[in-house]
Structures are given as C-alpha cells and as structure tokens.
Structure 1
Amino acid sequence: MPTMLAGLNPGWVLIIAGVASLFITMRSVRQVVTIAAPLLALLLLVFAPQNADLVTTQVLGLKMVLYRVDALNFIFSLAFLIAAVLNGIYALHSDDRIQDGAALFYAGAAVAATLAGDLMTLFVFWELTAISSVFLILRAQTRAAYYAAMRYLGVQVLSGVLLLNGLAYVLKSRGDLSLEAFTDLSDPGVLFIFIAFGIKAAFPLLHNWLQDAYPKATVVGSVVLSVYTTKLAVYALARMFPGQDHLIWIGATMTVFPVFFAVIENDLRRVLSYSINNQVGFMVCGVGVGTPLAINGVAAHAFADIFFKGLLMMSMGAVLYRTGTVKASQLGGLHRSMPWTTVFCIIGAMAISAFPLFSAFVTKSMIISEVASAGYAVIFLMLMFASAGVLEHSGIKIPYYAFFGHDSGLRVKEAPFNMLLAMGIAAFLCIFLGLPALFPGFGHEWLYGLLPYREEAMGYSHHHLFSFEHILTQFQLLVLAIFAFVLLKRVHAYPPEKRGVILDSDWTYRKVGYNLVKWAGTVWGKAGPAMTAAFFRITSRAYNWIEAAFSPRGELARGGVLNGAMTIWTAALLGIVLLLSFMAVG
C-alpha cells in the first residue's frame, strides 16, 4: 500500500462516495461506486499500520486524533466495511440516489467514529451517523415513516447533546479527550457519556426508537440500519466502560425483555428489531464483565451478529419487496415461490440461535462462559433463558410464519438476483465463522485471530468450544426450546398473530405524552385569551409605575429625601452583592 494512502481513513472514503452518489444520475455508475468504495476502504483498513496515530490535528488547542487503528476498533471496522459491500450488492435493484448516498455516508460515519482516536472526533462522526441514517427511514415516503424518523432523529440528537455535555466536563477535569477508559460513574461528565452511549445501544427504557423506526424504513434501509448504530455503541462501551458492573445487569435485562414482546409481535421486521435488543444485550453484558475473554466475546459476537441479523433482515426485506407486507398474519407458504430466500433465512435463523457449526455458537458462548466463571448465577440463568427465547422468536417464528405455517395463497417471484447474492454471501459467513478449524486460520479460528486478545480466544477454542459438554448443553437448550414451541402450538397456547400495534415503554410519550399535550392545547384554547389579556394588563401597569419612578420626570429624579433614601438602598444592595461574591469565592 503506497505511503500516500496509508493515512487515508476508510470511513472518509465512504463519506466522499456517499456525497458523490447524491449527484451521480447514471444508475450504472452509481452502482459501481456503492460497491467499489467499500472495497477500496476495506483494502485501506487491512493494510493500515496499527497502534499509531495516523492522522492528527489541532483545533482550538485541542489535539484531535482523526484516524487510529488498534486491535479493538479493527474488527468492528472490518465488519462494518464488509457489511457495506453486502448492502451495496443488496441495493442494486433499486434506483434511489438519496438512499444510496445516505447508506454510504452513514456507513462511513460509523467507520470513522470507530477509528477515531479521541472523544471529540468520536462525537463529530457520532452525530453524522444520526443525521445520515434518518434519510433511510424518510425514503420510505409514508406518513408513519415520517413521524418515526422525526422521533428517531430527536432521540439520536439527544444522545449527541449528552455526549457533548459529558465531553465538556471530562475536558475540564482531565485536561484532554483521550480514549482512556472511565471507572467512576459518579462523575457527572462520565454519567452523561454513559447515558449517551446507552441511548444508541438501546438500553431498557431507552430502546423504543429502534422498534419504532427500523421497521418503517425502506427495504434496503432496515438492512443498513441493523448494522451500524447499536454496534457502534457497543464498541464505544467496550472502549470506555469495560468492567463496569452496572452493564452486567443492564445487558442481562436487555436479553430477556425483548423475548416477551417479540412473541406477540405481528410485524416480522419489528420482531427482528427486538432481536437486535436481545443480541446487543449479550454484548453489553460481556462489556460489564470486562475480562479479556469477555471482551473477545463482545467483539466476536458483534462481528457475527452483523451478518446473521443482516441476513434475516435481508430475507424479510426480500419478502416485503415481493409481497408488500411482512405481517405474520398475512404471510405463509412462501417456500413454494421463494425457495432460495427460505434457505438463506433458515441459515440466518440457525446462526442467531447458536446451533453448533453456526456463527453465534462460537461467539456468544465466550460471553456466557465468562459470566458463569465470574459467579453471576442469576445473570447466567437470564442469559440461558434469553438464548432459548432467541430460538423461539428469531430462529423459529421468523421462518415459520413467513415461509411455512398456514398457506396464505401468495405466489410471487423469487427475490432479485442481487438480493440473493448478498444473502448468499452473508449465509456463507454465518456458516464459515462457526466451523471448527480444519487447518490453521480456517473457520472460527480466522475470526478468533482478529480478536483483541488472540491468545485467550485460541485457548478457549482448544479447551472448551467444541468439547462434547458444550455441544451437548447447547443441543439440549435448542431441543427444549423447539419442543416448547411445538407443544404451545399443539395446545393452541401460543399467542396468535393479530393485526395491531404493540406498545412498549413508548406508551409514555405516544399515549400519555400526546394526551397531555392535547389537553394542554384544549385548556389554552379556552383560557389562553383571558390569560394573555391579564398578562398584558399587569405588564402595562408595571411599565407605567417604573416610568413614573425612574424617568427624568419621575420621583427619583426630583432629589430631596427620596434621593437620599435611594443612595442608602443602593449602598445596601452593593453590600449584599459583595457579600455573596465573597461567599461564592470562598
């Protein structure tokens, strides 16, 4: 790689390509750009020197490290860039300049944020991910998508504001904005940053922007959105808050609560949005444990999740593209007319369910194993329950209701070739990453060789990963989950698929908040004119009194005793101000 290209940030390549795509009217040229740019960025990343500040600058006396590659951010950036290639292939059937440009810009901002070497640079690209990604929702061009996009943007901007506020505190207390891990959440600045990361990671009660917006995006948009925002937050947490105990319980809660909502949800893209919460919860829990093997598990699981979750989103996007719906109550029997999409969806379902020889089996187990080793018995049981829940809602429900179940009578064309190609590559990765090493560097060993703590990962692989006990335990969990699904269906106890909107904690602002605003508007409509008139009467009288007292013709300008009294009051007020100032300094 030429020296002149060594300092070129891969994220910037995608950002430039994204801006260019907005102005490229020829579809064929734009298609080349959307695939060639991520491939070029991949080469730049692979050949970039590690553990060195490649691009730095000074802004207002503040050192900003615009580009730095190390073992942790390399694997996240690699996954982001491979996903950008697949997203470009998946979108080849469409002719939407704004969507293509936004997807590249969004991916580039996420990569640039991951490769940032200081908090201020991270903040800049953190905000750019929010601004660019909202267009992937707006391009659906529906009323629901518009309102969801506005809510999404508000939440994402709030995350940025909190992050910037935290940076100001940290800069004042620490003197720099280096990416040095935080330990004390009692510090206001650190807490602001923690909450900012938590919003993008979709912590419990801060998560509804995800289920609200992702299912309403375009066919391509949902696939792209599923890759970047939450995984960028996971990277930021792993970088800045490893070993933070609060994250263990937050992550465990994230794995459990989506199971209950996903079971009753009718919109299959919304089911997958809850599944994002679930899988990110495993990563957040691993960050909280903070051991080298747990951080390895976080990085590996994030890498694998990008492809098996992306594959499931792609398959549902293909169904939506051909049928016009992803409502479980309206689908079924599509395996007859979309056989390849069915196969790829099943591969993604097996991967996310951690079947042996599939990707999550070799990534999620590191996190669960470290939780058990650390003695968190309750957390371990929560993660095991959540693992069974994953199989139920993403491993069984998605393929069953979309492609099997009752025959809806829908007979459509198979997905376009470019969609099948992208799904095929993602399916290959789901299998390849889960295979045992037939020779060095093959299958899961290739992934383990990229992890921040490579030796610990290889040691875990050789002694535990493909042991009989581990495989048997996982098979037992999967078989019991399948049995539970079949039994519930047999006795008609499984929640039926019904049309409707399932409200989560967003009920607080979509129902209660809306009704409060509506009530306030009604009250103002009735009492507003009278209150406005009374306000103007009071202010008019106050103005007349002030004018009468302080104008050149007023009482205070006439001298005499009153003037002497004002001198005394002025001196008294000055004394009070000086006293308060002295107390504040002290």
Structure 2
Amino acid sequence: MTNWIHPSLLFILGSFLIPFLHGRVKKAYLILIPVLAFISVVTVSQGTYGVFEFLGHELIFGKVDKLSLIFSYIFTIMAFVGMVYSIHVTDTGQHMAAWFYIGSSLGVTFAGDYFSLFIFWEIMAFASAYLVFAGRQKSSVDAGFRYILIHIVGGLFLLAGILLHYGDTGSFLFGLLEQDGSMAFYLILLGFMLNAAVPPLHAWMPDAYPEASVTGAIFLATYTSKTAVYVLIRAFAGTEILIWIGAIMALYCVMYATLQNDFRRLLSYHIASQIGYMVAAIGLGTGLAIDGATAHAINNILYKGILFMGAGAVIHITGKRRLTDLGGLYKAMPVTLILYMIGGFAISGFPLLNGFISKGMIISAAGHDHQALIVLILLLAASGTFLSTTIKIPYYMFFGKASKIEAKEPPLNMLIGMGIAAVLCLLIGIYPGLFYGLLPYPVHFEPFTADHVTGSLGLLMATVLGFFLLLKVIKPEHHISLDVDWFYRMGTRIFLWFARRPVCAYEGFITEISNTVILPVIYFFARVGLWIDRNIVDLAVNSTANFVINMSAFVRRVQTGLVQHYAVGMVIGIMLIIIIYSLIGG
C-alpha cells in the first residue's frame, strides 16, 4: 500500500514466522509486532489507501478517518497488552490464531467496501473459534463448534445482504446505509447484530467465552463484539429501532449476569450488557451519542480486559472458575484483587475512571433526546453491573469463606498486562480531555458536574446496600440459567432424536417394503429386458452389422484402383443412361 503498511498485514503475515522462533527471540517478536502496528496506525494520515481493481469494482483496504483510527488505536494497544499477558504461553497455535484474529479485526476496521469487509469478517470468525477450542476440554470443543456454526449463519445473513445491496445500488462501497426498509438493510443489520451479541442472538457469547483458554478469552472480549459496534456506527447510526434494542439488551443481559456462578460466564453477559449502551447510543445517532458509543467501546475494551485478565489469573492459579469453589483469595492475591477492582469500578461508572466518562456521555445523549425511559433502563443496568461485577465476584472470590485452595499471585507478565490497562482506565477517567480529541465529533461534555458525580455515587451506594439486603437471594449456586440458547440446543436434540428414531424406523419400514415388493418387480422387468436385449436387440444389431460388413467386402472388390476398370465402368454407366433415356423418351 502506498506509503503505509497496513497493520493487518503485520499480524496476519507475521503470524507465519511464529512457529520458527523460540525462547527470548519469540517473546520479543510477540511484543514487537503489536508495537509496530501501533506505530503504523498512529503515524498514518487520514485518507484512502490500498485501492485495488477487482472484477470491475474497487476494493478499499485502507479507509482511514477518525472513527477507524480510534478503533485501530485500541485494537493495537490491546494486542500489545494481550501479548504481554500471554507471553508465558507456549502454544504456538494460540499465538497464531490471536494474530489472525487481531489482523482481521483491523482489516474490518479499515475496510472501505463490503467485499474486503466480508473477507476479514469471516477470517475473524474462524480465527476466534480456535481460541475457544484452545480450552482443550470437551465443553470447549462443543462450545467452539456451536460458536463457529452460529457465526457461519451470521456470515450468510451478511453475505446475502451485501449481494442484495449490490443488486439495489450497483456498489460495494461500505458506509452509512439508507434506512429504506429493504431486505438488504435488515440482512446486513442482522449479520452485524449477531456479532454484537444482540438478544436473542447473544447466547453464543456466554456459551463460548467461558470455555476459551485463559489468554484466548482476553482477545475474544476485545475484538468480535467491538468490530460489530464499529460497523454498526459506520452503517446504521441513527437507526431508531436500535435505541430500544440496546436499552433492553443492557438490562436483559445484566439480569442474567447476576444469576451466574461461573464468573467468566458472568463477565461474558456483561460484555453484551455494555454493548447494549453502545447500540442504544448508535440508535440515537447524535454527535454526542456516537462519541459516547465510540468512547464506551474503547473504555469497555480496557476495563473488560482487566476483568477477564483478573478472572484468568484466578483460573490460572487455582484451576477453578465457579464462585462457589473459591473464597479468601485476597491474602494470597492482593495485587490481582486491586487491579481487578479498578476494572470493576471502571465498568460501574465510578468517578475518575473511564467508564464514568463514556457512560455519562451516552446517558446524557439519551437525556438530551428526551428519552427518559431509556435513561432509567440504562441506570438500572448500571446498578446491576456494579452489583454483580464489582461486588458479587470480589465478595465470593476474594473475601468470601476461605477455601482450602492454595493460591499465589500469577506470573509477573499477567500482572503487567492488567496494570497497563488499569493505568489507561485511570488516565482517561482523570484527563478525559486527552481522549475527546480522538473521537469522531467535537465533544462538549463536562463529566465532573455535581449532579453527575453525586448521582453516580448515590446509585453505587444504593447498590451496595441492595447487595447485602439481597445477599441470600443472589448467592451463587450450582444451577444452569436457561437462556435463548436453550432453543437451539433443544432444537438440535429434537433433530437428532428425529433422525435416530422416526427416520430410522421409517427407513427400516421402507427397506422391508423395498426388499419384499419393489425389488422383485424390478428384478422381473430386468430379466425381461435382458431377454429382449439378447434375443431381439442383439439379433437386429448383429444382422445389420453383418450386412454392412458384406457390402463393404463387395465394395472393396469393385474398387480395384485401376484406371481402365473405372473407364469401363463409366462407359457402361453412360450406355445404361442412354438406353434408359431412349426408352423413357420413346
């Protein structure tokens, strides 16, 4: 590409070198490429790069503007953080899959046409699926297959929408879609919403993310859903139906999060809940709302990364991921606890942390649009987030009844990864002005007003009180919370039962009828056909063949090749013609 090395190339092509490196060289390489990718996106100017002609259409691999740049900044930063956190992992396959995943996400971010977007979209799906399989458990394999099947379906929706869009417009260019209610509009929206985990298309996320490897889950929490937010901003800003979809999503998923015992499943529901804020803001479509959605996506990547890294550290040390199996870890893992709590307070919208800024922008945008009920729903979701993520998990994991599990702090690189993300959460929360300049629209939002600060603190304190009042009700238990995934799980079971029982029984019945009735009739007609073939058809064919052979022999004898014989024949022929003509004429 002219004057610019696309960061996706650094990751995708660079991944092929990983298997050939070892030891410190490999570790240095895993850190170096994310740094080079970050330099690539920081130094590039806004414009269009990497334009190629393909079958008469322009493929644009480098549409660079403020929106794509800010997402590329956080994607490359989290690539660095994720590599630091996972530097101790010796599984080369995980590193390669992570780089394909990161590279394809950056490819989507800079795609200027639907064709290149779809290519990277599908690479992203298959690369991320490997990180689920990397959990190396039967449940991981099962979840991985469900994950990839769901995303294949989503990809088919997206592809169908793209083709219909091309049929309607004659263009593959990717940008804001006209809200014309066409089939193409809704199919593309459906494909994007599936990756954004919008209910009822969300169940793949809490199903798959808890089953991924400890380090793979960090990348899963970062890329798939946030690229979906990016493309929704790019193509569907101002689509009003998204306001209610996002608000319901935020509240619905936070309610399910509160019920969970598996803390990574709980955190996965919270990813979907937080995306609900972004989807609602995208639906509002105002400058402040789009800035809020963008800011919240970036902030969510940071604090959700901390939470998943903290959860991963506990799993790495204890091998446990259920709250009922843990307790009393604060003595053995104090640094992990502190870093986790920074992420927990950030996601809850605590003042001086980044979540306070972006949540405030979204709720303020909804208020300016006179969406009072939406504001109320989002505030309730914020309370539920604080309840389950920042109170429930630490209470039972770190401060609850002490378990007999021996624990210690995780490897230093894991703490450093968490620490980098925590510093960024604090930096954005304390100095939001540094962040505002990166957002797509000019920002005129003052977060540190008395109303905003006191309102947020009051909501959080009320939530603390509610937690202890409802302690017995929300106590984690060994149970399964049924969600919409029940339908496709049950649907699969019904299909398998139908295939094994009625279909097999029907097949046996048909086989018996075939053997006793149909096949004897077929054999009879086959024997009749064989007799006709041998006694009639063969006789006719053989007789014709013998006649042709005999005539050929006669003709060969007549055709001697001597000129005098041909001359005599011609004379005789002419005489016969004259005689016949004379007789007829006479």
User: TM class by shorter-chain length?
Assistant: 0.7 to 0.9
Encode CA deviations 1:355-412: one digit per residue, 9 max, x unaligned.
0001100111111111111122221111111011110111211222211121113231
Is 1:509 the counterpart of 2:494 in the alignment? Answer: no
**Contact 2:306/2:339 (8 A) holds in 1:** yes
Change (3 A) 1:334 1:96: same
Separation in structure 2 between the aligned mates of residue 302 and residue 49 of structure 1, nearest angstrom: 23
Match of 2:433 among 442, 445, 453: 445
Partner SS state of residue 206, structure 1? coil
Match for residue 23 of structure 2? 27
Matches within 5 A, 1:351-390: 351-390=346-385
Match for residue 458 of structure 2? 476
Match for residue 558 of structure 1? none
Q: Report deviation, 1:429.
A: 0.9
Match for residue 217 of structure 2? 222
Separation in structure 1 between the aligned mates of residue 366 and residue 386 of structure 2, nearest angstrom: 20
Is 1:199 the counterpart of 2:181 in the alignment? Answer: no
Change (3 A) 1:524 1:432: same
Is 1:310 the counterpart of 2:302 in the alignment? Answer: no
Matches within 5 A, 1:208-287: 208-287=203-282
Q: Report deviation, 1:44.
A: 0.7
Partner SS state of residue 501, structure 1? coil
Match of 2:15 among 6, 14, 18: 18
Partner SS state of residue 284, structure 1? helix
Match for residue 9 of structure 1? 6
Separation in structure 2 between the aligned mates of residue 498 and residue 244 of structure 1, nearest angstrom: 40
Partner SS state of residue 433, structure 1? helix
Separation in structure 2 between the aligned mates of residue 357 and residue 5 of structure 1, nearest angstrom: 42
Match for residue 44 of structure 1? 40
Q: Report deviation, 1:62.
A: 1.3
Match for residue 467 of structure 2? 485
Q: Report deviation, 1:5.
A: 7.2
Separation in structure 2 between the aligned mates of residue 512 and residue 5 of structure 1, nearest angstrom: 51
Change (3 A) 1:373 1:500: same
Separation in structure 2 between the aligned mates of residue 185 and residue 192 of structure 1, nearest angstrom: 13
Tell me the TM-score normalised to structure 2 length. 0.87
**Contact 1:6/1:47 (8 A) holds in 2:** no
Separation in structure 2 between the aligned mates of residue 175 and residue 45 of structure 1, nearest angstrom: 31
**Contact 1:337/1:413 (8 A) holds in 2:** yes
Return the index of the structure with the highest Cα Rg: 2
Match for residue 581 of structure 1? none
**Contact 2:302/2:424 (8 A) holds in 1:** yes
Separation in structure 2 between the aligned mates of residue 117 and residue 217 of structure 1, nearest angstrom: 31
Match of 1:531 among 490, 505, 510: 510
Identity, in percent, stands at: 36
Unaligned runs of 5+ in 1: 436-442, 554-586
Change (3 A) 1:323 1:62: same
Match of 2:149 among 149, 154, 157: 154
**Contact 2:179/2:239 (8 A) holds in 1:** no
Separation in structure 2 between the aligned mates of residue 539 and residue 186 of structure 1, nearest angstrom: 55
Matched to 2:96, the amino acid is G
Matches within 5 A, 1:421-460: 421-435=416-430, 443-453=431-441, 455=442, 457=443, 459-460=444-445
Count of paired positions: 531
Separation in structure 1 between the aligned mates of residue 501 and residue 26 of structure 2, nearest angstrom: 51
Change (3 A) 1:529 1:185: farther
Matched to 2:304, the amino acid is K
**Contact 1:83/1:227 (8 A) holds in 2:** yes
Match of 2:337 among 334, 342, 356: 342
Unaligned runs of 5+ in 2: 534-586
**Contact 1:17/1:33 (8 A) holds in 2:** no
Change (3 A) 1:222 1:185: farther
Match of 2:161 among 148, 166, 183: 166
Change (3 A) 1:209 1:27: farther
**Contact 2:248/2:276 (8 A) holds in 1:** yes
Q: Report deviation, 1:447.
A: 1.1
Separation in structure 2 between the aligned mates of residue 36 and residue 11 of structure 1, nearest angstrom: 14
Q: Report deviation, 1:496.
A: 2.4
Matched to 2:133, the amino acid is L
Separation in structure 1 between the aligned mates of residue 461 and residue 174 of structure 2, nearest angstrom: 44
Match of 1:88 among 83, 91, 105: 83
Separation in structure 2 between the aligned mates of residue 288 and residue 518 of structure 1, nearest angstrom: 42
Q: Report deviation, 1:183.
A: 2.9
391-400 or 124-133, larger mean C-alpha shift? 391-400
207-216 or 179-188, larger mean C-alpha shift? 179-188
Partner SS state of residue 89, structure 2? coil
Separation in structure 1 between the aligned mates of residue 27 and residue 252 of structure 2, nearest angstrom: 40
**Contact 1:114/1:232 (8 A) holds in 2:** yes
Match for residue 565 of structure 2? none
Separation in structure 1 between the aligned mates of residue 49 and residue 270 of structure 2, nearest angstrom: 37
Match for residue 540 of structure 2? none
**Contact 2:97/2:130 (8 A) holds in 1:** yes
Partner SS state of residue 56, structure 1? strand
Separation in structure 1 between the aligned mates of residue 317 and residue 426 of structure 2, nearest angstrom: 27
Separation in structure 2 between the aligned mates of residue 507 and residue 373 of structure 1, nearest angstrom: 39
Matched to 2:5, the amino acid is L
Encode CA deviations 1:165-198: one digit per residue, 9 max, x unaligned.
1111111111111123113352111111110001
Q: Report deviation, 1:534.
A: 4.6
Match for residue 558 of structure 2? none
Q: Report deviation, 1:339.
A: 0.7
Match for residue 393 of structure 1? 388
Match for residue 115 of structure 1? 110
Q: Report deviation, 1:11.
A: 1.4
Separation in structure 2 between the aligned mates of residue 120 and residue 500 of structure 1, nearest angstrom: 44
Is 1:495 the counterpart of 2:483 in the alignment? Answer: no
Change (3 A) 1:12 1:532: farther
Matched to 1:530, the amino acid is F
Matched to 2:364, the amino acid is S
Q: Report deviation, 1:263.
A: 1.5
Matched to 2:445, the amino acid is Y
Q: Report deviation, 1:532.
A: 4.2
Q: Report deviation, 1:25.
A: 4.5
Matched to 2:6, the amino acid is N
Match for residue 566 of structure 1? none
Encode CA deviations 1:484-531: one digit per residue, 9 max, x unaligned.
012222xx3x22222233221111122343134224411223221222
Partner SS state of residue 136, structure 1? helix
Separation in structure 2 between the aligned mates of residue 141 and residue 544 of structure 1, nearest angstrom: 58
Partner SS state of residue 216, structure 2? helix
Partner SS state of residue 527, structure 1? helix
Change (3 A) 1:150 1:483: same
Separation in structure 2 between the aligned mates of residue 15 and residue 540 of structure 1, nearest angstrom: 62
**Contact 1:258/1:278 (8 A) holds in 2:** yes
110-119 or 408-417, larger mean C-alpha shift? 408-417
Separation in structure 2 between the aligned mates of residue 540 and residue 349 of structure 1, nearest angstrom: 75
**Contact 1:333/1:409 (8 A) holds in 2:** no
Separation in structure 2 between the aligned mates of residue 286 and residue 542 of structure 1, nearest angstrom: 69
Tell me the TM-score normalised to structure 1 length. 0.87
Encode CA deviations 1:120-164: one digit per residue, 9 max, x unaligned.
111110000001111111111111100100000011111111111
Change (3 A) 1:545 1:405: same
Matched to 1:501, the amino acid is I
